[in-house]
Structures are given as C-alpha cells and as structure tokens.
Structure 1
Amino acid sequence: MSEEILINITPMESRVAVVENGILQEVHVERTRKRGIVGNIYKGKVVRVLPGMQAAFIDIGLDRAAFIHASEIFLCDGSAEASISVLVHEWQNIVVQVIRDEIGSKGARLTTQLSIPSRYLVYMPRTTHVGISLKIEAEAERERLKQIVSEYIAAENIKEMGGFILRTAAEGASATEILMDIRYLRRLWDQIDAQTKTISAPSVIYEDLCLALRALRDLVSPKIKKIRIDSRETFERATQFVAELMPEIADRLEHYHGERPIFDLYGVEDEIQKALEHKVLLKSGGYLVVDQAEAMTTIDVNTGTFVGYRNLEETIFKTNLEAATSISRQLRLRNLGGIIIIDFIDMEEKEHQRQVLRTLEKQMERDHAKTNIISITELGLVQMTRKRTRESLEQVLCEPCSSCHGRGKLKTPETVCYEIFHEILREARAYQAKGYKVLASQKVVDRLMDEESSNFAELENFIKRTISFQVETIYSQEQYDVVLL
C-alpha cells in the first residue's frame, strides 16, 4: 500500500492531501487570514464565571471569548476540582491551551492541561504520567518504550519533570531518537515557561506549527513513500525541520515543480468538490447520503441501482460492507467530528451485522482522530463519535446559503404567493392605500399572473384595491415586498 502527501502552498492558503494508491483519503486546508489555533498556548484573563454551567469564559485576545469547563482545569497535584468557583475567579490570569478551534457560533475550547507534541512524544509538563498510544499493541514494544522514558526521567532527576505520551510513530524508534525528542521538548517548555512569568494577559505564548510542518510531524508514517511540496520556500523550511526532528524521512521529501498543478496529479481538486456534495456514489450502484448538522452528522446507506446476484439479504450485506469502507474515508476526507449516526440498511443475520461493524472498526483504525464506535442498536443504527478539534471541510470552504439561510430548502413559488396574499390582507386592515405593488422574483411573479391570477382577482374585489406586480431580478425566490401606493 503506497501513500503520498501532497502539499500545495499559495499566498492565500495552504493545503495538504493524503493520497493512498492514487485515491484521496484526507485533505487539510488552512487559510492565511484564518489560521487554526488548536495547540496554541495563551496567557488569558477570566472574564466571566458561570457556576450553573461549571464553566468560565476566558479572554485570550480573540474576537470572541474562549470557553473552559471545570473538568479541564487541573490542579498542581494533577486532580480536577468539581466547583468552577473554587478553581477560578473573574480577572484572574490563567495559562491555557486551545483544544478546539472556534466552530460555527461556538468559541474556542480550552484546557489548562498543557501538551506539546513532537515526532514521537507528547510532553505534558503538568503531570507525571507516562502513557503509550493504544495503537502500539505489542506488549514487548510498549514495555521497551516505557523503559526508555522512565530511565531518562530517573537519570535527569529534575523536579517537576512532567509526563510523556509515546505516540504511534514511536513504534520501532531507537532510544537515541526518542531521547532527542525528549530533550527538544524540554528545551521548548523551558522557553514557554519563562514567557508565562513575564508576558501580560491576554497574549499568545506559543503557536503550533504551520499546516505544512504539522503534516510532516503528525501525518508521516512508514507507509508514506513520498512527500511532494510545490513551494521552494516551504520545501526548504521542511528540509530544515526534518533534519532537526525527523532525519529518517529526509529522502522522502521532494520539491515538485511540474507543469501541472500538484493537486491535479491524482484528481484531488475533483475529489474535494465531491466531498462537499450531499450524495456519495458507491461503485456497486448504492449510495450514501451525508447530512452535517450542528448537533450531529447522519449518514444514510441506500442500495440505489445495485440489485445483487443472489438474494435481498446478500445484496444488502454487500452494500453495507462497501458503505462501511466508504464511510471511514468520508469521515476523514470531510473531517467530520462529534456525534455520528450511521443508518445501515437493515440486516436480518447477526453475523452480517457483526462483519459490517468489524469492517467499519478496521477501516477507522487508520484514522488519526480518536474514534469510538458503539454496537448496532435495535433500530439498526451505528452510533459513534470522532474527536472534533478543527472545522470540517464544509465549514472551512462553505457558508450558509443566503437564499435558504442554511436550511438546504427553498419555499416553493406557491408558498411565497400565499404569504404575499396574507401580507396584503394584513396591510389592507392596518392602512388605507390606493393600491399595492408586489415586488418579487421572476418565478413568483409568473405564478401570481398565471396559476394564482384568479385568486388575486378575488383578493382585489375583497379589499377593493388594485394589485400590480414587478419583477426584481436581484430577489431570491423567497424574497418579496408589498409596497403601498
């Protein structure tokens, strides 16, 4: 299985694509004017404490105050106190880290449990815990890695050393490579810690890497055979970053200067457009319907034109198996997070249900985000969660429709005509006027003068006023005005 990372840099935005066997699996977009702030550390000021919500709002220098829950405020001994009123008070200075970007109407989410990632480790200066990624399954390897870190901590004998989590990338890494990472993280923390004591609030203390370098740190695995970068400047920065932190991948870096845009190599641009669509076609003829809402995302599986070869149960089973693989890709590609409900086609056989669920779990193991899949419910639904830290692809690239205001539906011309009917009746009862002029879109005016002409003739007789119509080309289908003459 061959994977590549394509990095496209322009003055306006940076984009990273992960391609597996020629098929796009993930895409990350960061706008220059709206960089993500997950991982950034700030010295903030408490502006409001909400005991009823066990939370507080913190001014960290953004347009909107950020949010922290009591469970994310850790005391010196590593425990979390229950009452927010005991933990913080208004106008108090506090050092926090962003764990979720501003998404929609919600402000950034914060924690005081600081963590700084590197290639193989995550350093947590305010805990003494040493943990290992669950994706490293071999017990001997887990023990080896834990021993390397524990021996370093014991040898250094530094008070308040902090804790570490060994990332999945640490599997197979040498002791020298891990110790280099530890020393790098300790030097970085010393700089951050010194700043926290002198800087005033609200201010940023530490900013995470730009998207291109984050991709090198977080997305590169042994499966990645090539990393192509189309910007000379970014390529040079990446070369320096790799030399310092991850020299073993230096030979995989490549400066792309081909005539074709880098995202055209594997049809990435077309795949991004498809990832914004409501419907996802399956090779068999079935399809998925993806609905992203604020509270949750729902995915519906349908057989479509797939009629199968043997019987209905087998057709449904094959469709659901294909859908499970496609869903795991769509979650990564669209960066969907939070609560996700999957409505597979109902299966009678328990073994089929088990295999579909196992396929989904197996495919989700490749996901960098933390996921939790719950078994199929009595209604045949699969409930799962996927950690949401940044905006989804749709939220980055799109905005709510100005015509339907995000509903995804428009009122029919017939409905708008009847609303105009009711509006004229209200106006006639409230004001004296010689007549009324209706300003509306072409479709609505056409209907008023055709299918609804007899109704409006009756209305004119009833209110004893004339009604005229005027097309406004800039009006959406739902827009109209009733003008008194």
Structure 2
Amino acid sequence: MNSESILLAQWQREVQRANEQILVNITPQETRVAVLEDGIVQELHIERAASRGLVGNIYLGKVRRVLPGMQSAFIEIGLERAAFLHIADILEQRQHPEAPARIENMLFEGQTVLVQVIKDPIGAKGARLSTQISLAGRFLVHLPQETHIGVSQKIDSEQERAQLKERLEALLPSGSPRGYIIRTSAETASDEELAADIGYLTRLWADIESRARISPAQTLLYQDLSLALRVLRDMVSECTEKIIVDSTENYGKMVEFAEDYVTQALPKITRYSGERPLFEMHGIEAEIQKALARRVNLKFGGYLIIDQTEAMTTIDVNTGGFVGAKSFEDTIFKTNLEATYSIARQLRLRNLGGIIIVDFIDMDREDHRQAVLLELAKALARDRTRVTLNGFTSLGLVEITRKRTRESLAHVLCEPCPTCQARGEIKTAQTVCYEIQREIVREARQFEAKGFRILAAQSVIDMFLDEESQSLAMLIDFIGKPISLAVESQYTQEQFDVVLL
C-alpha cells in the first residue's frame, strides 16, 4: 500500500458525518433513497421492483463450463446470462492461497455448487460469484464456512478489537459455526443485541442449508433485504438524525424491522405526510438530473467533465470562468482544491466504480500537488464503498479505484442513444449528404432505374437544397437520372433511404 492509500485509510477512520438525513421514496415500481449531509445530497440509491440488485443473493448453481485457460467457470443460476466464477473466489482457494490449485480439479461440468453473487451483471458482463458465503446482520457478518472471528479494519484500537472478540466468543452457542466479522456498528452494541444478531444469522444459515438439500439447480435460496430495509441495516449510524419515509405501508415494515434488529434506529424513523412529493420538497429530483449531466459546475466558476465508459471513468478539471486568485498558479491550485470535494461527491452520487482517472489542472509546485491529494483523500474518506487513491502518475494524472458491485446511476436510469449508438455524437448533415450521394452512385451502376428519391431528415434535405445543391446537380448530371427529395419527419439525422423510381 502506497503513502496515499495509507493516508486515505487514516481519514476513513477519523471522518465524521454530521447532520445526516436519509430520505426514502417508495412506489410500487421503485424505491429511491437519498442520503443528505447538511442538506446536500451525497448518495443516491435506486432499486426497481422489476430488476432488483442481485448482490448478496445465494443460489444453488450448476456448472455450465470450466475454462482452464482462464482459471474460471461459467455457472448457471437462472439468469439470462451465465454468471462468472474465478478461482480466486472459490472458498478452498481463499482459505489456502499459498497452495495454488487448478479450477479443473475443483469443478466439473454439470456439478451443483452453492454460490453467492458479489457483483451485479454490468453491461455485457454476467454476475460475478463466490463460493464463500457471507450473511450480513446489523452488527455482524456471518461466514458459516469459516472458523475464525475477524474485526472491521475501521476499528483500529487493538484493545477494543480484542474486547469485541472476547465478547462475541462468550456469546456464541457451543457447536455453532464460529466464522464472523464484527462490523463497526458493534462498537456500541449490547450483549443482548449481539446475541440477537447471532440467533438471526444462525437461523438464516440453517434455513439456506435445508433448502439447498431439497432444491433443484438454479434455485434462488436467499435474497438480500429490500433497499428500504438495507437502509436500516447498513446506512444508519449515530450521525443519522432522521429517516423520512413517504409510504405508510413501508413505514410500518421499517418500524417492525427496526424493533427486531435495529432498535437504535426506531426513534429516527419518521412518516412523511406533506402535500408536495418528498424528493421534490428536498430538491432531490433536480440533483438526479444534474447527476446525469456530463458537466458539473463548481462554485467559483470552474467545472468538471465526467465521461463514463465501460473500461474506466475520466474526470477532467477546468478553471472555466474562475479568475479570483492573485496569480494563475493560485487560480489553478484553488480550482483543483475545490474540485476534490466535488469529485468525491460525484463518485458517490453517480455510483461510479472501477478505474477512475482524474486529470487535475497541471501544477508546477510539489506542495500544491500534495495538498490536493490530501484534500482528495479527506473527501474520499466519506465514502461507504472501498476506495483506493494511488496518487499522481508520471503523466500528472490521479488514479482512483472504487469497488463496483452494482450499476451506476446513469446505467440504471438511462439507455444507449439510438441515434448515435452511445457514441455521444452524431454525423453531421453534410456527412450524411455525401453518404447518400455515394449510395446513389452504387445503385445507379447496379440497377436500371428511371430515377431516385431521397428520403431523409429535414436537416439533410435542407443541406441538399442549400450548401450541397451544386454537388447534387453534378450527381444528377453524372448518372443521367433525375433525383427528387422528400422529408421523412420520423427519421433521425443519420437515417436515410434511397428509393428507386
């Protein structure tokens, strides 16, 4: 781990979230959650009833194909695409990494295997699986196939870590699976709350095992909680002031869940009964639209350009209209400093994952570069998702990796543009005119036609009547056949047809 990564880990332990509110908007089709800090939206989570996330789900899978060359396998779990299992995510290999094995010696085609989804299908990639099962509770993560007790890395006091282990070991029933990870929220949990978590997770695993023995392959054995309940289990902390829910039915379900598992969240759950929609009241709808835009304006005139591709996300920092500093060097430095907090917020807001490359404005001074890295580390430390900051490269770019387990906000809410085929741009009307002319030449040589009619968008026809009228006349003279024009209002600028008369 390099110095920047260490710095980020330190800030993650020290950062405090202040004045946090969680808004939960629920309709029969969709659940949306917004996390606000000091009234500013920091996170957005969306789950649709027709396409709930798969992370955490446990299936009885069937091995479809083993790939020795890739040391991986495709597993059928009942989805449209087969899921992917790499040898590094097989339990036996994780338990004995010093003794490398071959996947063809561990799995065979047609074999049934208990698997858990660790990454949702993203783009053309299928879900990613693991055979190491983990069940999340409020204070504990149960690893029923393991025998050791671990503690969250965010609890850095060795004395406290040892005390938590001792408390948990004293509460575990004799003969029960003893694999657990103690979550950060367990620091303030009572023995009764820990014991309740143990009982819940033990019963849950027993039920999964029982169903696995009698179910056919490709059966869903366990589905993770809905987003509204995961809010209570995973997002609520001592900094959370309110959890505001706009659905009476789901308010009751959340209260019932909190009474059983998250009692400290119970007084924070509030039923929203205002006239205006909850998200509109707090300006969330406008923030969602901004989070889908390519450009993000900074407070003092600078701006970011965010481009998301399948391989990586790039973020370009620009000074824009910011001229407030004493010198150009100071202008660059202050713009970069301001950009760090906006970048960290946008990663959370848009749920951007994988490789992220940030192109800050070039800084000549080393102390300025280190100060920008420090501020970026502090801003990234607020993220609930695992983030690694790798510092400046030799080209002056900053590399960040952020764990990706589900689709980004843009992929959930949007689809590729049918006009530009997700290129982000379309051919000009002039380009389309020249394509049409080449098409007419080809068809004139191939077919005996009396003439041709061009069907195209209004912008293309206008181009033929104005700037390209001379080239059209030359084409008519060249092929010796008349060419007529017709506007097709339903066509996009790139669409056209050449009709033989």
TM-score (normalizing by structure 2): 0.94
**Residue 324 of structure 1 contacts residue 360 of structure 1 at CA under 8 Å; is this kept in 2?**
yes
Q: Distance in 2 between matches of 1:60 and 1:41?
A: 9
- Which of 115, 126, 131 matches 1:107? 126
Matched, 1:464 2:484: no
For residues 34-45 of structure 1, the aligned pairs below 5 Å read 34-45=51-62
Q: Distance in 1 between matches of 2:434 and 2:101?
A: 55
Query: RMSD of aligned C-alpha atoms?
Result: 1.4
The aligned counterpart of 1:315 is 331
**Residue 232 of structure 2 contacts residue 265 of structure 2 at CA under 8 Å; is this kept in 1?**
no
Query: Would you say how many aligned residue pairs link Structure 1 and Structure 2?
Result: 482
- Which of 35, 42, 58 matches 1:25? 42
What is the percentage of aligned positions where both structures have the same residue?
A: 54
**Residue 23 of structure 1 contacts residue 266 of structure 1 at CA under 8 Å; is this kept in 2?**
no
- Give the counterpart letter for 1:147 in structure 2: E
For residues 301-380 of structure 1, the aligned pairs below 5 Å read 301-380=317-396
With over 3 angstroms needed to count, the CA separation of the structure-2 counterparts of 1:118 and 1:74, relative to structure 1, is same
- Deviation of 1:40 (Å): 0.4
Which string of whole-angstrom CA distances, capped at 9 and with x for unpartnered residues, describes residues 81-115 of structure 1?
A: 53221121111101100111111111111110110
- Deviation of 1:140 (Å): 2.6
Matched, 1:229 2:248: no
The aligned counterpart of 2:113 is 94
Which secondary structure state, in structure 1, belongs to the residue aligned with residue 378 of structure 2?
A: helix
Matched, 1:55 2:72: yes
Which secondary structure state, in structure 2, belongs to the residue aligned with residue 75 of structure 1?
A: helix
**Residue 88 of structure 2 contacts residue 94 of structure 2 at CA under 8 Å; is this kept in 1?**
no
- Give the counterpart letter for 1:62 in structure 2: L
- Deviation of 1:318 (Å): 1.0
The aligned counterpart of 1:181 is 197
**Residue 71 of structure 1 contacts residue 82 of structure 1 at CA under 8 Å; is this kept in 2?**
no
- Deviation of 1:76 (Å): 8.9
The higher-RCO structure (CA 8 Å, 6+ apart) is 2
For residues 93-242 of structure 1, the aligned pairs below 5 Å read 93-153=112-172, 156-158=173-175, 161-242=177-258
Matched, 1:11 2:28: yes
With over 3 angstroms needed to count, the CA separation of the structure-2 counterparts of 1:313 and 1:140, relative to structure 1, is farther
- Deviation of 1:181 (Å): 1.4
The aligned counterpart of 2:10 is none
**Residue 93 of structure 2 contacts residue 101 of structure 2 at CA under 8 Å; is this kept in 1?**
no
Q: Distance in 2 between matches of 1:233 and 1:290?
A: 39
Q: Distance in 1 between matches of 2:198 and 2:146?
A: 15
With over 3 angstroms needed to count, the CA separation of the structure-2 counterparts of 1:419 and 1:6, relative to structure 1, is same
- Deviation of 1:77 (Å): 8.7
- Give the counterpart letter for 2:136 in structure 1: P
Q: Distance in 2 between matches of 1:131 and 1:373?
A: 25
The aligned counterpart of 2:5 is none
**Residue 441 of structure 1 contacts residue 473 of structure 1 at CA under 8 Å; is this kept in 2?**
yes
Q: Which segment is superposed worse, 347-356 or 439-448?
A: 347-356
- Which of 296, 299, 308 matches 2:312? 296
The aligned counterpart of 2:92 is 75
**Residue 354 of structure 2 contacts residue 404 of structure 2 at CA under 8 Å; is this kept in 1?**
yes
Which string of whole-angstrom CA distances, capped at 9 and with x for unpartnered residues, describes residues 40-62 of structure 1?
A: 00001111122222211111111
- Deviation of 1:369 (Å): 0.7
Which secondary structure state, in structure 1, belongs to the residue aligned with residue 344 of structure 2?
A: helix
- Deviation of 1:308 (Å): 2.5
The aligned counterpart of 1:439 is 455
Which secondary structure state, in structure 1, belongs to the residue aligned with residue 142 of structure 2?
A: strand
**Residue 141 of structure 2 contacts residue 182 of structure 2 at CA under 8 Å; is this kept in 1?**
yes
- Deviation of 1:130 (Å): 2.1
Which secondary structure state, in structure 1, belongs to the residue aligned with residue 486 of structure 2?
A: strand
- Give the counterpart letter for 1:131 in structure 2: G
Q: Distance in 2 between matches of 1:91 and 1:354?
A: 54
Q: Distance in 2 between matches of 1:79 and 1:243?
A: 41
- Deviation of 1:207 (Å): 0.5
Q: Distance in 2 between matches of 1:33 and 1:150?
A: 41
Q: Distance in 2 between matches of 1:28 and 1:93?
A: 33
Which string of whole-angstrom CA distances, capped at 9 and with x for unpartnered residues, describes residues 397-446 of structure 1?
A: 00001111100101000111111111111112222211111110000010
**Residue 73 of structure 1 contacts residue 87 of structure 1 at CA under 8 Å; is this kept in 2?**
no
Matched, 1:420 2:436: yes
Q: Distance in 1 between matches of 2:169 and 2:40?
A: 41
- Deviation of 1:347 (Å): 1.1
Which string of whole-angstrom CA distances, capped at 9 and with x for unpartnered residues, describes residues 217-249 of structure 1?
A: 111111100001111111111111111111112
- Deviation of 1:377 (Å): 1.1
Which secondary structure state, in structure 2, belongs to the residue aligned with residue 171 of structure 1?
A: helix
- Deviation of 1:279 (Å): 0.3
- Which of 283, 293, 298 matches 2:299? 283
- Deviation of 1:289 (Å): 0.5
- Deviation of 1:18 (Å): 0.4
Q: Which segment is superposed worse, 67-76 or 232-241?
A: 67-76
**Residue 119 of structure 2 contacts residue 127 of structure 2 at CA under 8 Å; is this kept in 1?**
yes
Listed as ranges, the gaps of 5+ residues in structure 1 are none
**Residue 411 of structure 1 contacts residue 477 of structure 1 at CA under 8 Å; is this kept in 2?**
yes
Q: Distance in 1 between matches of 2:220 and 2:325?
A: 61
